[in-house]
Amino acid sequence: MSNELPVAIVTGASRGIGAAVTKRLAQDGFAVVVNYATNEKEALNLVEEITWAGGQATAIQADVSNPLAVAELFEQAESTFAAPSVLVNSAGIMHLSPLAECSDESFQSMMDVNVKGTFNTLRQAANKLQKGGRIINLSTSVLGLSLPTYAVYSATKAAVEAMTTIFAKELRGRSITVNAVAPGPTATALFFKGKSKAQIEQLTKMTPLERLAEPEDIANTVSFLAGADGGWINGQILRANGGIV
């Protein structure tokens, strides 16, 4: 497929924040790669929506925790469009429980997707991203809140933030920026899963703006970092959380 647009890979793009980011980058003039792990139908629906709106998009399945799958993701993106200019690491999973009650399976799955998945894509981006490109990782503002039941999930995102700030320095000479966006409570299926109505209401009222973020609020922040106006922001964690912390 011939392409003259800059290319953005968005992991975990089939739903939630990832889907909102993908649609926004398509509106910004990127050809977008909709990466998904299992939600093929939603990924294809997103591609169709972007295409109908006049954009360019393709869906590519890859488990980000698998290094071979991630290498293939980058190769397919380049063969379909061109070498990517932007990588957004939106793939993530969250299992909430007190640390002492967290199962081995829950711990390992969060480490595999949130930490190893980000590591795998960053390692590929080091060699495959075009000079002057942008990398945006997704963290969480829960790191600043230290809420009970979020210990392991927060630990995975602390690792993401550490990789973000260090990787920005390691890419010296490539003109590639590396930043992370740390959302607060955001109205997604991932957020609502397993929470009572009272918990949701409490978290909603914690922000001075007294509402949950919409996925589009986070997509706007990613768009800024991926665009021309965000070019001098590098090695930073942007807390897009409405002032909750």
- CATH code of the domain in which 189 resides: 3.40.50.720
Is residue 93 in a domain? yes
CA distances from 95 to 30, 39, 51, 190, 210 (A): 33, 19, 34, 9, 25
Q: For 208-241, b where at least 16 C-beta lie within 10 A, e where not — what string?
A: eeeebbebebbbebbbbbbeeebeeebebbbbbb
Residues annotated catalytic, as ranges = 153
pLDDT at 55 > cutoff 90: yes
Q: Is residue 243 part of a domain?
A: no
Closest-CA residue to 37 (of 8, 69, 71): 69
Q: Is residue 245 part of a domain?
A: no
How many angstroms separate the CA atoms of 61 and 67, rounded? 13
Q: In the chain, which ranges are continuous DSSP H helix?
A: 16-27, 40-52, 67-80, 104-110, 117-128, 142-145, 151-170, 189-192, 197-206, 215-226
pLDDT at 227 over 80: yes
DSSP conformation class of 213: B
Mean pLDDT (the chain) is 95
**Is 158 part of any domain?**
yes
- Residue-range definition of the domain harbouring residue 185: 7-238
Flag whether pLDDT at 111 surpasses 60.
yes
> Which residues are within 8 A (CB) of 232 and not within 5 positions of it... i.e. 6 or more apart?
none
List the beta bridge partners of residue 35: 60
Is there a domain that residue 55 lies in?
yes
pTM of structure: 0.95
Residue 3 has a pLDDT of 65
Q: How confident is the model at residue 20 (pLDDT cuts 50, 70, 90)?
A: very high
Q: Is residue 164 part of a domain?
A: yes
Domain contains 85: yes
**In-domain check, residue 31:** yes
- Cα–Cα distance, 170 to 90 (Å, whole number): 22
CA distance 47 to 67: 24
Number of structural domains in the chain: 1
219, 26 Cβ separation under 8 angstroms = no
- Cα 95 from chain centroid (whole Å): 17
Instruction: Give the mean pLDDT of 227-236.
Output: 97
